[in-house]
Amino acid sequence: MNLPWHDFQDPIEGFSTLVELLIYRVQSQPQQKAYTFLRDGETEEVSLTYEELDQKARAIASHLQSLGAEGERALLLYPPGLDFITAFLGCLYAGVVGVPAYPPRQNMNLLRLQAIVTDAEASLVLTTSGLLANLVSRWAENPELATMRWLATDDINTHFSHPWQPPKLEKDSLAFLQYTSGSTGTPKGVMITHGNLLANQRSIKMGFGHTDKTIFVGWLPLFHDMGLIGNVLQPLYLGIHSVLMSPVAFLQKPLRWLQAISDYKATTSGGPNFAYDLCIRKITPEELSRLDLSSWEVAFNGAEPVRSETLEKFANYFAPCGFRKEALYPCYGMAETTLFVSGGVTTSPPVLCEVDTTPLEENQVVAATSNAGSRTIVGCGRTWLDEKIIIVDTQSLTVCPADRVGEIWVSGPSVAAGYWRRSQQTAETFQAYLSDPNVSEELGVSGPFLRTGDLGFLQDGELFVTGRLKDVIIIRGQNHYPQDIELTVQNSHPALRLNCGAAFTVEQKGQQRLVIVQEVERTSLRRLDIKEVVGNITEAVIDNHGLQVYATVLIKPGSIPKTSSGKIQRHACRRGFLEGSLNVVEDCSSSLQHQANLQKLTTDVNSLLTKVQEGNPDVTIANIKEGAKANARQ
């Protein structure tokens, strides 16, 4: 394949596809170590150079081409490791559209995979020889899946690469389908083109300040956008080394992540907010002496709300290891934008905005004058290349002023082509326009825009994300962000697990009522005082948010529905609550009478609140709070 790099100062700027990029890496630095996978997150198991990576990818591509699979969709089911990377690149080399997914566990049903296979119209399954037999036998139980062709890519001889023919690919060619995590609904296949991938890689390089000296360490799932596009494809784009480990290895022992950063002198690594919380809680002061985090330049934090408390605690706790607060890098993105949308400045600490919570409930941004009734929102930086962010009023479709919260809209080359074979949803989400075309011209962007479904505001170019549009809790006309309520709940009692709760509403007698679903710490199950825990939750939510809890459901550890990236699936929690299918803790029935009392109190409180809103001088918010809290303590 003839590559057009001779006309460009930076060769990769002239590439149209990821295939061209990998071939360039092979020709320019064949013996450069590309990826290393750590067994159990600690010992080096296997590495691949760019030349070895190319040979394996070509062999897989040759086999796929011999099957006449070009243009078809292939489900990628791999355990953590390098086999997934070679299979993903092999699909690109063959012009096959890869569909990354997670192989089902023994006790896990196939409903999600079946839905993905049906939606993508996949005809192939790529996996390892170690998983093949079990997966085939389970697949055979479902007639719709039994007819698919299977291929164990680790059994393919690399010498099979000779017949490979470069596919006819262009910038707009479909590279793969990234199925959304399903945090707010049914997973959809986001169509990521080669042009999307290369544009997003350029943005990540610019925003993160990456160079050919950058070193990656990562544990994120490779089938998920942050793991694949961040920890796998960005190193390939840069031509550098990436050290990877299993997500399970990290979750079992978070020290492994930071130890790998220390050992390999990594400069970039990160994950969702919960990962930083986990390190604070699980890494002991004695273990800090083994860590040297002075090389860590970009500690990115995204995929869920970034909490200022977490940033502060992490920076302080690991400062003795050489970690610098300036390395903390809150960022924002999603599958529909390939991955990255915005991020901060790597040489500056995170930007924080203190706002008054009461106006925020009315979508107004007002600077806090005191700590009481305030909320700290962490800035997620700005766009770096050709992307454009605007904040839009969802009713009028006009641009919001800086002091208003609205929906985040994005345009630019990283925005995906749409949802696979869902024309109506593609039009609704990816083809949005402002109501006044003249404003679009003034902004220099005519559209179309991606409607992200996220809420936020812009100040001095900095993006502040406040929550999900579909998750916002509206009670008595007031907006409440579920993540704020969930944090209040988790801090109300030591028996409750952090990052493992959901707040949502259900309708009762024409009114929206607040429901809390919360995991309990495993160590607290035997001596759990349910009445005390529920009372603490009720009192804390009344005190901090002025809301009465309609129902509290305490569930067993590890049972709350989450996406592959660790986001709480509030819609699934709500469905489980309504269906009675949540995995509640034993003896939870003993609190039913207490719940009934609280539900009765809800009606009374709402009646009183209505009187407050109507201006009744005999009733005050303070009276209501005191009465509700007294009931919670009974």
Q: Does 433 or 597 have the greater pLDDT score?
A: 433
Q: Are 607 and 557 contacting, i.e. CB atoms less than 8 angstroms apart?
A: no
- Residue among 27, 71, 69 nearest 49 (CA): 27
Cα distance between residue 172 and residue 170, in whole Å? 5
- Only one residue has tokens 């929550």, namely 467
Domains with residue ranges and CATH for the chain: 330-468 (2.30.38.10), 479-633 (3.30.300.30)
pLDDT at 507: 80
Beta strands (DSSP E) in 281-431 are: 298-301, 328-333, 340-343, 352-356, 374-378, 388-392, 406-411
pLDDT of residue 624 exceeding 70: no
Q: Are 207 and 348 contacting, i.e. CB atoms less than 8 angstroms apart?
A: no
Q: Are 331 and 369 contacting, i.e. CB atoms less than 8 angstroms apart?
A: no
pLDDT, tens digit, for every residue of 279-315? Answer: 999 999 999 999 999 999 999 998 778 899 999 999 9
Cα distance between residue 189 and residue 68, in whole Å? 23
- Residue among 231, 226, 301 nearest 266 (CA): 231
pLDDT at 570: 87
Residues facing residue 411 across a β-bridge: 388
pLDDT at 501: 93
Cα distance between residue 140 and residue 588, in whole Å? 39
H or E element at residue 28: helix 18-28
3-state DSSP assignment of residue 415: coil
What one-character DSSP code corresponds to residue 144?
T
pLDDT at 604: 53
pLDDT of residue 405 exceeding 60: yes
The structure tokens listed for 380 are 């997620």
- Residue among 250, 420, 211 nearest 335 (CA): 420
pTM for the predicted model, two decimal places: 0.82
pLDDT at 563: 74
- Only one residue has tokens 């005999």, namely 618
Q: Are 14 and 7 contacting, i.e. CB atoms less than 8 angstroms apart?
A: yes
Q: Are 75 and 139 contacting, i.e. CB atoms less than 8 angstroms apart?
A: no
pLDDT at 606: 53
Q: Are 302 and 330 contacting, i.e. CB atoms less than 8 angstroms apart?
A: yes
Q: Is 586 left (phi over 0), alpha (psi -120 to 50) or beta?
A: beta
- Residue among 452, 272, 492, 473 nearest 360 (CA): 473
pLDDT, tens digit, for every residue of 520-568? Answer: 999 988 889 998 999 999 998 988 788 889 999 999 998 998 876 677 8
Cα distance between residue 318 and residue 578, in whole Å? 43
pLDDT at 58: 94
- Residue among 587, 502, 614, 510 nearest 551 (CA): 502
The structure tokens listed for 384 are 């770096």
pLDDT at 591: 43
H or E element at residue 594: helix 592-613
Q: State the greatest distance between any 2 C-alpha atoms of the chain, in Å, as a whole number.
A: 86
What one-character DSSP code corresponds to residue 294?
T
pLDDT, tens digit, for every residue of 409-449? Answer: 999 999 999 999 999 999 999 999 999 877 767 777 778 99
pLDDT, tens digit, for every residue of 51-79? Answer: 999 999 999 999 999 999 999 999 999 99
Are β-strands 374-378 and 352-356 bridged in parallel, bridged antiparallel, or unpaired? antiparallel
pLDDT, tens digit, for every residue of 157-205? Answer: 887 666 889 999 999 999 999 998 654 456 799 999 999 999 999 999 9
Per the document, the length of the chain is 634
pLDDT, tens digit, for every residue of 239-254? Answer: 999 999 999 999 999 9
pLDDT at 589: 42
Residue 387's pLDDT band (boundaries 50, 70, 90)?
very high
Mean pLDDT score of the chain: 87
The sign of the torsion formed by the CA atoms of 561, 281, 486, 632 equals positive
pLDDT of residue 7 exceeding 60: no
Q: Are 423 and 396 contacting, i.e. CB atoms less than 8 angstroms apart?
A: no
Q: Give alpha helix (H) positions in 67-151.
A: 82-94, 111-120, 129-139
pLDDT, tens digit, for every residue of 209-226? Answer: 999 999 999 999 999 899
Q: What mean pLDDT do residues 357-367 have?
A: 88
- Residue among 96, 113, 93 nearest 105 (CA): 113
Beta strands (DSSP E) in 97-245 are: 97-101, 124-127, 149-152, 174-179, 189-193, 216-218, 242-245
Q: Are 601 and 533 contacting, i.e. CB atoms less than 8 angstroms apart?
A: no
pLDDT of residue 588 exceeding 70: no
Residue 260's pLDDT band (boundaries 50, 70, 90)?
very high
pLDDT of residue 49 exceeding 90: yes
- Residue 318: how many CA atoms within 13 Å on its side-chain side? 33
Angle between helices 530-545 and 482-490 (to 10 degrees): 140
Q: How far is CA 510 from CA 57, 89, 159, 505, 611, in A?
A: 58, 53, 68, 12, 18
Side chain identity at residue 627, one-letter code: G
pLDDT at 114: 85
pLDDT, tens digit, for every residue of 467-511? Answer: 888 888 878 767 787 888 998 899 899 999 988 999 999 888 777
